[in-house]
Chain A
Amino acid sequence: MPDRRRPTVLRRDILKIGGSATLLPFASILELAGPRQRAQAGALAVDFKSLDHAQAILLLSVARTVFPHDFLPDEQYTKIVVVIDAKATADNAVAMRVKEALAALPNDFTAMEEAKREEYLRTLEGSPFFRLVYEETIAGLYGDATVSALLGYEGSSVEHGGYLKRGFDDISWLPTDKPVGK
């Protein structure tokens, strides 16, 4: 039942991103996170094999529009671009599909308001290109241990003795009254 991750990322292709943030409280993460859309301003410090730099930046913008999390730096989304680049390198049909779809995006796509970008991508929803980006983004982001920890997933617990003494029933915001129904 749980979804399987695809471990296809080549480590050497990935930027070093800070894994140290894993255990910080959520608020600190928000402070740490840089402004989104950094891709527009800066260069991606990755050598892509199939995509050129402009295509990579465009693809990053698409991935961020699909699952936008302001607290995540571009480096996190870059990992997804790296995976798609590797697929494009391995399969010419994928490369063509991705490059054609990127070329067909509006010229100012990365500069558009997020709502406009989302609106535009809705028109592509059924396309193979969109399905590819969607699939790689959902798996690449939420299957990533750092990201899922930032989102509050606490992972393996058996080595800590489970949650019996670590808050399995520590809910504090529910009213404590015993509601009596109709």
Chain B
Amino acid sequence: MSAAERFALDDASVVVIVGSGAGGGTLGNELAQKGIKVVCLEAGTRLTLGDIHNDPAAMSAKLTWLDPRVGSGDLDPKVPARICKTVGGTTVHWAGAALRFQPHEWRARSTYGEVAGASLLDWPMTHEEMQPWYDRAEKKMGVAGSSQAGLPRLPGNNNYKVLAYGARKLGYREVHTGNMAINSQPYDGRPACLQIGFCMSGCAIGAKWSTLYTEVPRAEATGNFELRPECHAMRIEHDAAGRANAVVYVDAQGVNQRQRARIVCVAGNAIETPRLLLLSSSETFRDGLANSSGQVGRNYMMHTTGAAFAVMPGEVHPDRGTQMAGIVMDEARHRTDREFVGGFLLESFPPQGPLGFARRAKPGAWGRQYARDIEGYRNVAGLWIVGEDLPQTVNSVTLDPRVRDQHGLPVAHVHHVDHPNDATMRKRAWEVARSIYEAAGAGTIHTRGPFPATHNMGTCRQSASSRDGVCNKYGQTHDVRNLFIADGSQFVNSTSENPTLTIVALAIRQADYISKKMVRREL
């Protein structure tokens, strides 16, 4: 890679992007490729492939955002959610599932109708409108199973085979190894997957797409992109006309800096993005930047999740091979004959070691019977439930009135309670999971509720009207026209699909929009 150009702090012609993950990293590269100057502020450190080890505990410590947070509702009071704090963001950690939203999911309010307690909306754009951007995202990322990348699906590991056998026996038909941004063959200068396992600890060979070793170095190679790692954005400033004009951040040496900006794009994950807007309140924007709707931080969604772990009659060695090795999609379809709206996916998921199994399969369990289950570790199969989590106004990211971080800033207070629809869906998903493993001959089956995951969405949602959302269909905020939301915060509903592919597709589209507007001097 070429030496990154240094842009001056007072260079007011740059686009400042906060975050280098699926949204920020992609957007930065797309803009840089078009000749637009970008400064990317990333709170985390920059790892290389050599820093990535098959050690979940050590990697979790390296990758995770460990600054304090507060949780309430159903969430852990200290670890309410998980995001990554590293160059590449959650694309270092993600399992690689790259699924398009289903057509009806762009029209959740129209499809599901009025659901009491839910703040459903339709997206301000259509399914058809997004397809070309999905095409480009799949090609960029090398999504195995997509026609765009031309890569076949990955082979399935043992854990997948158990899931697939049980599911097919029950009559499920949409059962396969998923559309995964993991190379099934060498692609784009990166090697094919070696079925190492440990995907969520970072892929040590770079077979899984991550902005860490794709978008970021390519953006740097243009000379138009400067990454500033270990730079934590503290506040977005604006001029008298209400246009964003600078980002104040604390750099790696702990010194406060102020980078001037022509455009500011925020991609700090749906926890930190609304926090930054709320921290940027001013005389003009008393409730936080771009928050005239009051929707900044609202409608926090994280997917309706849960897990099942089953002790099978023979060896599975669930940690071998890709961690999200297969998927059952039949239940993801919206149907009118169920007690809930939306749907859910079942994705194979390993227990990640006896400690992971002991802690996760049945939290708090102990004694002879449970010890016996643990002794069956070799035989364990597992899956994760990913279902639609309905948006609710009450579920939110706010500034905690008491706890401050190491920079003296109020931390994110994350609140989430299940909507009754979520609870009903999860119950159904557990039943299905149980039936699948029973059909494959399981002994003991443990089902359990959510644990903190990196799927965070909805806290600066898109909307057609500036009254009920934060940004338009390009992620451009309704209130501040040179301020953009470039991550999963934009999501209007969580859908049942893993969020990354859609975040990447939206970022590519946003870059196209921004560059055209810049050419026309409208930004």
Residues of A within 8 A of B (CB): 1-5, 26, 65-69, 114-115, 118, 134, 137-139, 142-143, 147-148, 151-158, 161-164, 166-175, 178-182
Contacts and interface: CB of A to CB of B under 8 A. Distances in A.
Contact of A153 (B195, B316, B354): B354
B161 A174 contact: yes
B448 interface: no
Nearest to A66: B366
Given A118-B367, A171-B315, A162 B195 contact: yes
Interface string B32-70: 000000000000000000000111110111000000000
A158 B57 CA distance: 16
A153 B319 contact: yes
8 contacts: A1-B60, A2-B56, A4-B60, A66-B366, A114-B368, A115-B368, A152-B378, A154-B319
Interface string B257-298: 000000000000000000000000000000000000000000
Contacts of B155: 168-169
Contacts of B156: 169
A161 B191 CA distance: 12
Nearest to B381: A171
Contacts of B158: 168-171
Q: Can you list the 4 inter-chain pairs with the closest CB atoms, starting with the nearest? A: A181-B171, A173-B314, A162-B194, A156-B54
B317 to A, nearest CB: 7
Given A161-B194, A168-B158, A2 B356 contact: yes
Contact of A68 (B53, B170, B371): B371
B57 A181 contact: no
A167 B317 contact: yes
A169 B161 contact: yes
B329 to A, nearest CB: 15
Contact of A179 (B60, B168, B201): B168
A134 B196 CA distance: 32
Contact of B359 (A3, A157, A171, A178): A3
B7 interface: no
B355 A163 contact: no
Given A67-B366, A67-B370, 7 more contacts: A3-B356, A148-B353, A157-B197, A170-B317, A173-B314, A174-B165, A179-B439
Given A138-B359, A143-B355, A151 B374 contact: yes
B72 interface: no
Interface residues of B, number: 63
- Among B56, B169, B354, B371: residue with most chain A CB under 10 A: B354
A142 B195 contact: no
B214 interface: no
B409 interface: no
B155 to A, nearest CB: 6
Contact of A1 (B53, B162, B200): B200
B358 A142 contact: yes
Q: Chain B interface mostly helix, strand, loop or mixed?
A: loop
Interface in B402-453: 439-440, 451-453
A151 B377 contact: yes
Contacts of B374: 67, 69, 142, 151
- Among A138, A148, A174: residue with most chain B CB under 10 A: A174
A8 B312 CA distance: 35
Contacts of A170: 158, 317
A147 to B, nearest CB: 7
A158 B375 contact: no
Interface string B165-197: 100111110000000000000000000011111
A155 B161 CA distance: 21
Given A68-B371, A168-B320, A171-B316, A162 B197 contact: yes
Given A4-B61, A171-B316, A155 B359 contact: no
A5 B354 CA distance: 13
A173 B313 contact: yes
A2 to B, nearest CB: 4
B354 A148 contact: yes
Contact of A142 (B317, B354, B440): B354
B352 interface: yes
A173 B439 CA distance: 14
- Among B195, B312, B313: residue with most chain A CB under 10 A: B195
A158 B196 contact: yes
Nearest to A178: B168
Given A3-B355, A153-B319, A158 B204 contact: yes
Contacts of A179: 165, 168-169, 439
Contact of A181 (B56, B169, B197, B205): B169
A178 B175 CA distance: 12
B156 to A, nearest CB: 6
Contacts of A118: 367-368
Nearest to A65: B367
B169 A168 contact: no
B440 A174 contact: yes
Contacts of B473: none
Given A153-B353, A164-B195, A2 B60 contact: yes
Nearest to A170: B158
A171 B314 contact: yes
Nearest to A26: B378
Given A153-B377, A178-B168, A2 B317 contact: no
A119 B228 CA distance: 57
Nearest to B366: A66
A156 B58 CA distance: 12
Contact of A172 (B165, B171, B314, B320): B314
A68 B161 contact: no
A157 B366 contact: no
B157 interface: yes
A4 B315 CA distance: 27
A1 B359 CA distance: 11
Contacts of B194: 158, 161-164
Interface in B365-385: 366-368, 370-371, 374-375, 377-378
B321 interface: yes
B171 A66 contact: no
B320 A134 contact: no
Nearest to A130: B366
